[in-house]
């Protein structure tokens, strides 16, 4: 069963449950709307919590991968590369005046 079929089946079940509950309670539509909006708010809160949990999980995985890559990078560094320094001054010949030409 694909996602569209699963969603359609869930929608049908929710709709049937809501209609059955409203018939049993004899609530007018304007009161039922308030209840449905409250349920929708609860669902949105749950969705936000699920998305936050997924994001935190992704962040943790990325941090672990970053740590592994940094360790690999440190292993690849050579002592010679760390000790190479640039000259402190430029040679005097390069500092001289322009040649006549």
Classify 35 as helix, strand or coil.
helix
Confidence category of residue 85, pLDDT binned at 50, 70, 90: low
Q: How confident is the model at residue 38 (pLDDT cuts 50, 70, 90)?
A: very high
Report, as an integer, the average pLDDT of 48-52: 98
Measured distance CA(8)–CA(13) in Å, rounded? 9
pLDDT at 77: 87
Tens digits of per-residue pLDDT, 10-32?
999 999 999 999 999 999 989 99
pTM tops 0.75, yes or no: no
Q: Between 84 and 47, where is the model more confident?
A: 47
CA pair distance 57, 49, nearest whole angstrom: 12
* pLDDT recorded at residue 37: 96
Q: What are phi and psi of 19, to 5 degrees?
A: -65, -40
> What is the Cα–Cα distance from 36 to 11, expressed in whole angstroms?
14
Asked if 22 and 32 touch (Cβ cutoff 8 Å), the reply is yes
pLDDT at 99: 57
Q: Could you tell me the two tokens for 57?
A: 């999980």
- Percent of the chain surpassing pLDDT 90: 71
């Amino acid at each position: 069963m694909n996602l569209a079929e699963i969603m359609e089946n869930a929608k049908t079940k929710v709709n049937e449950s809501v209609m059955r509950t409203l018939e049993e309670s004899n609530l007018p539509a304007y009161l039922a709307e308030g209840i449905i909006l409250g349920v929708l708010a609860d669902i949105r809160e749950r969705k936000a919590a699920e998305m936050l949990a997924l994001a935190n999980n992704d962040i943790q995985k990325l941090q672990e991968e970053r740590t592994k890559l940094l360790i690999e990078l440190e292993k690849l560094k050579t002592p010679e590369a760390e000790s190479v320094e640039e000259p402190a001054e430029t040679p005097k010949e390069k500092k001289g005046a322009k040649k006549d030409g």
